[in-house]
Structure 1
Amino acid sequence: MPQRTPMYRFSICLLTLAAAAAAQDDAKPKDEAPVIPVLHQSVVVQGSPVEVTIDRRNGEVVQKTLFSRDDQIFHILDAGINAGQHEGGAKSVEIRRFGFNLDHGGVSGGLKVLTDGVGQNQATQGHGQGYLGSLKSLSPELIKEVNLINGPFSAEYGDFSGLGVVHILTRDTMPDELTFRMQGGSYDTARGFFSYSPTLQNTDALFAYEGSFSNGPFLNPLGYRRDNVTANVTQRIGERRQVAMKFNAGRADSYSSGQLPVDEIIAGRLSPYGAVNPTNGIKQWNGTLAGYLRQEGENGQVWKVDAFVGRSLFDHFMDFTFYLNDPVNGDAFQQHDSRLQQGANVQYLRPHKFLGMTGYLSTGANFHANQINVGLYPRVDRVPTGVASRAQADITNGAGYVQENFSLLQGKLLLGGGLRFDAFRFDLADRVDPLGSGVQSAGRWQPKASASYTPSHRVPLTVFANYGRGISTSDARAIVKNPQMERVATTDFTQAGVAFRSGRFGAQVAGFHIARSNEQVYIPDDGTIEFKGPSRSYGFETKASVELNRFVAFNGGITKVTNAFYLGTPRVYVDSAPHFVANAGVTLSGWRSWSGSLRMRAIDHYRLDGEDASVVASGHTVFDLWVSRRVSRNIDFHVGVDNLLGRFYYETQNYFESRLQGEEPMARIHATPGYGRTITVGMTLKLRRK
Structure 2
Amino acid sequence: MRLLVVLGIFILSFSAKAQSVSGVVNNANIKPLSDVLIRNLASKSHAHTDINGKFTLEETKAGDSLQISKQGFSTQKLKLSSSDFLSIQMEEKPFLLEEVTITNNLKYLNTISKIDFEIQPISNSQDLLRKVPGLFIGQHAGGGKAEQIFLRGFDCDHGTDINITVDGMPVNMVSHAHGQGYSDLHFVIPETVDNIDFDKGAYFVDKGDFTTAGYVGFNTKNGLQNSSISFEGGQFDTFRTVALFNLLNKENQFAYFAGEYMMTDGYFDAPQNFNRINLFGKYSAKMNNGDKLALSVSHFKSQWDASGQIPDRAVNDGTISHYGAIDSNEGGNTSRTNFNLQYDAKIDQNTHIKSSAFISKYDFELYSNFTFFLNDPVNGDQIKQKENRTIVGFQSEYDQKLTEKWRFKLGAGLRNDNNTDVELSHTLNRETVLDYLSLGNVNQTNLFTYSSLDFVSGKWLINGGLRLDYFKFGYEDQLASTYTNQTQTKAIVSPKLNFLYTQNEKLNYFLKLGKGFHSNDTRVVIAQMGEKILPETYGADLGLNWKPFPRMIINSAIWYLYVVQEFVYVGDEAVVEPSGKTQRKGVDFGFRYQLTNWLFWNTDYTYTHARAIDEPKGNDYLPLAPVNTLTSGLSLKDLKGFSGSIRTRFLGDRPANEDNSVLAKGYCITDFSVNYQIKKVTIGVNIDNIFNTKWKETQFLTESRLVNETNPVEEIHFTAGTPFNARLILKYIW
Question: Under a length normalisation based on structure 2, what TM-score does the superposition of the two structures give?
Answer: 0.83
Spell out, residue by residue over 1:8-32, the C-alpha distance to the aligned partner (whole angstroms, 9 max, x if none): xxxxxxxxxxxxxxx9773454xxx
Q: 1:547 to 1:98 in 2, by over 3 A?
A: same
AA matched with 1:514: L
Q: Determine if contact 2:633/2:646 at 8 Å carries over to the other structure.
A: yes
Quickly say closer, same or farther: Cα 1:596–1:114, change in 2 above 3 A. Answer: same
Structure 1 position 43 matched with structure 2 position 43 = no
CA gap of 1:360–1:266, structure 2 versus 1, over 3 A, is farther
User: CA offset at residue 530 of structure 1?
Assistant: 4.7
Alignment match, 1:675: 722
Cα displacement (A) at 1:42: 4.8
Match of 1:379 in 2: 427
Does the 8 Å contact 2:248/2:256 carry over to 1? no
1:132 maps to 2:206? no
Aligned counterparts of 2:529 and 2:537: Cα–Cα separation in 1: 21
Q: CA deviation at 1:209?
A: 0.9
Partner of 1:655: 701
Equivalent in the alignment of 1:685: 732
Aligned residue identity for 1:655: L
1:499 Cα shift? 2.5
Letter in structure 1 aligned against 2:105: V
Does the aligned pair in 2 maintain the 1:391–1:431 contact within 8 Å? yes
Identify the residue that residue 495 of structure 2 maps to in structure 1. 447
Instruction: Provide the secondary structure at the position in 2 that maps to 1:480.
Output: helix
SS at structure 2 position matched to 1:43:
helix
Partner in structure 1 of residue 81 of structure 2:
none
1:161 to 1:529, Cα distance in 2 relative to 1, 3 A: farther
Is the CA contact (8 Å cut-off) linking 1:451 and 1:464 kept in structure 2? yes
Please state how far the C-alpha of 1:504 moved relative to its aligned partner: 2.0
Match of 2:162 among 100, 111, 117: 111
Alignment of structure 1 residues 379-528 onto 2, 5 Å: 379-383=427-431, 384-408=433-457, 410=458, 412-433=459-480, 434=482, 437-454=485-502, 456-457=503-504, 460-483=506-529, 485-502=531-548, 503-523=550-570, 526-527=573-574
AA aligned to 1:180 is I
Q: SS at 2:269's partner residue?
A: coil
Amino acid across the alignment from 1:293: Y
Displacement, 1:515?
0.1
Deviation by residue 1:464-492 (Cα, 9 ceiling, x = unmatched) = 21111111011101211231542111111
Distance 2:705 2:111 in 1: 45
Shift of 1:38: 4.3
Stretch of structure 1 that moved more, 651-660 or 492-501: 492-501
Count of residues in correspondence between the two structures: 631
Residue of structure 2 equivalent to 1:20: none
Match of 1:218 in 2: 268
Could you list the per-position Cα deviations for residues 170-205 of structure 1 after superposition, in whole angstroms to 9, with x for gaps in the alignment?
1122211x3111010011100011121124432110
Match of 1:634 among 680, 690, 698: 680
Say what the alpha-carbon RMSD is for the aligned residues: 1.9
Deviation at 1:153, TM superposition (A): 1.1
Q: Distance in 2 between matches of 1:308 and 1:215?
A: 34
**What's the counterpart of residue 246 of structure 2?**
197
Deviates more, 1:496-505 or 1:466-475: 496-505
Q: Does 1:370 align with 2:444?
A: no
SS of aligned partner of 2:202: coil
Contact 1:105–1:121, Cα closer than 8 Å, also in 2: yes
1:361 Cα shift? 2.3
Secondary structure of the residue aligned to 2:405 is strand
> Does the CA contact (< 8 Å) of 1:650 and 1:674 recur in 2?
yes
The alpha-carbon deviation at position 72 of structure 1 amounts to 3.5
Q: Which residue number corresponds to residue 49 of structure 1?
A: none
2:380 pairs with one of 330, 352, 366: 330
Residues 128 and 318 of structure 1, relative CA distance in 2, 3 Å threshold: same
**Shift in Å, 1:598:** 1.5
**Aligned-partner Cα distance in 2 for 1:42–1:282:** 37
1:150 to 197, 200, 206: 200
The structural deviation recorded for 1:391 is 0.6
In 2, Cα distance between equivalents of 1:436 and 1:658? 36
Judging changes above 3 Å, is the alpha-carbon distance between structure 1 residues 329 and 556 closer, same or farther for their aligned structure 2 residues? same
Determine if contact 1:475/1:530 at 8 Å carries over to the other structure: no
CA shift in 2, pair 1:646/1:429, >3 Å: same
Aligned to 2:692: 646
C-alpha distance in 2 between matches for 1:265 and 1:566? 37
Question: More displaced, 536-545 or 382-391?
Answer: 382-391
Query: Do the aligned residues in 1 keep the contact of 2:242 with 2:258 (CA within 8 Å)?
Result: yes
Q: Secondary structure at the match of 2:120?
A: helix
Give deviations 1:64-108, integer Å, cap 9, x for gaps: x2x2xx434223x141111111234332111111112111011xx
The DSSP-based 3-state class of the residue aligned with 1:473 is coil
Q: Does structure 1 conserve the Cα–Cα contact (< 8 Å) formed by 2:606 and 2:629?
A: yes
Contact (CA 8 Å) 1:71, 1:85: kept in 2 or not?
no
State the Cα deviation string for residues 432-460 of structure 1 (Å, max 9, x = none).
02577410011111111111224x437x3
Tell me whether 1:592 sits opposite 2:640 in the alignment: yes
In structure 1, the partner of 2:126 is 71
Q: Which amino acid aligns with 1:80?
A: G
- Find the partner of 1:544 among 585, 591, 598: 591
Q: What corresponds to 1:572 in structure 2?
A: 620
Partner residue in 1 for 2:259: 209
Contact 1:213–1:223, Cα closer than 8 Å, also in 2: yes
C-alpha separation in 2, matches of 1:483 and 1:323: 34
Q: Which runs of 4+ in 1 moved over 6 A?
A: none
- SS of residue in 1 equivalent to 2:241: strand
User: What runs of 5+ residues in structure 1 fail to find an aligned partner?
Assistant: 1-22, 45-55
- Which whole-Å deviations, capped at 9, do the CAs of 1:386-408 have from their partners, x for residues lacking one? 32211110000011111222221
Q: Which amino acid aligns with 1:59?
A: E
Equivalent residue letter for 2:409: S
Q: Distance in 2 between matches of 1:494 and 1:40?
A: 19
Residues in 2 aligned to 1:227 and 1:523: alpha-carbon distance in whole angstroms: 30
The equivalent of 1:62 in structure 2 is 121
Contact 1:180 1:192 in 2 (8 A): yes
1:123 corresponds, among 174, 196, 200, to: 174
| Equivalent residues of 1:151, 1:162 under 8 A apart | yes
Give the Cα separation in 2 of the matches to 1:596 and 1:253. 31
- Displacement after TM superposition at 1:589 (Å): 1.3
- 1:26 partner amino acid: V
Residue 609 of structure 1, CA deviation: 0.4
Distance 1:26 1:89 in 2: 37
Q: Which residue of 2 aligns with 1:359?
A: 406
What residue identity is the alignment partner of 2:266? G
Contact 1:128 1:529 in 2 (8 A): no
Give the % identical residues.
24
Q: TM-score, normalised by structure 1?
A: 0.88
Residues 628 and 652, structure 2, Cα contact 8 Å, conserved in 1? yes
> What residue identity is the alignment partner of 1:183?
E
> Conserved in 2, the CA contact under 8 Å of 1:40 and 1:150?
no
Helix, strand or coil for the counterpart of 1:479?
Answer: helix
Report the Cα distance in structure 2 between the residues aligned to 1:37 and 1:130, rounded to whole angstroms.
24
Q: Distance between the aligned counterparts of 2:248 and 2:602, measured in 1?
A: 36
Residue 110 of structure 2 contacts residue 196 of structure 2 at CA under 8 Å; is this kept in 1? no
How far does the alpha carbon of each residue in 1:267-319 deviate from its partner, in whole angstroms, 9 at most, with x for none? 22221111111110011111000111112243232211110000011100010
Residues 99 and 564 in structure 1, CA contact (< 8 A), matched pair in contact too: no
Mapped contact 2:223–2:249 kept (Cα < 8 A): no
Amino acid at match of 1:168: F
